[in-house]
Amino acid sequence: MQKPPEWISVPVAAEMLGCTDVWVIRMIHRGDLEGFKLSARAWAVSRKSVEKNVREYLERDPTLSGRKRSKLG
């Protein structure tokens, strides 16, 4: 069985977190996620820090397993 990569892209992290790419980069700058800049437009994000962030979020309130949809759709 292949081990998941230790470092993931911003779009993959955003998908795991249910947020935008811009928000992931903000979280890196704030220190909420571990990551580093690879080039002018590419970042690497620690998969462990993303998983930890999700786990801590769900531990605060287990009913928050997903965002509520707006009434519009």
Whole-number pLDDT of residue 70: 54
Residue 67: is its pLDDT beyond 60?
no
What's the CA dihedral at 20, 43, 34, 4 to 10 degrees?
A: 90
What is the b/e burial string over 23-61, where b = at least 16 CB atoms within 10 angstroms of the residue's CB? ebbebbeeebbbbeeeeeeebbbbbebbeebeeeeeeee
Give the predicted TM-score (pTM) of the model.
0.76
Distance CA 21, CA 19 (A): 7
Q: Could you report the per-residue pLDDT of 4-61, keeping only the tens digit for each?
A: 789 999 999 999 999 999 999 999 999 999 999 999 999 999 999 999 999 988 888 7
Residue given tokens 């947020």 in the structure block = 19
Comparing 34 with 66, the larger pLDDT belongs to 34
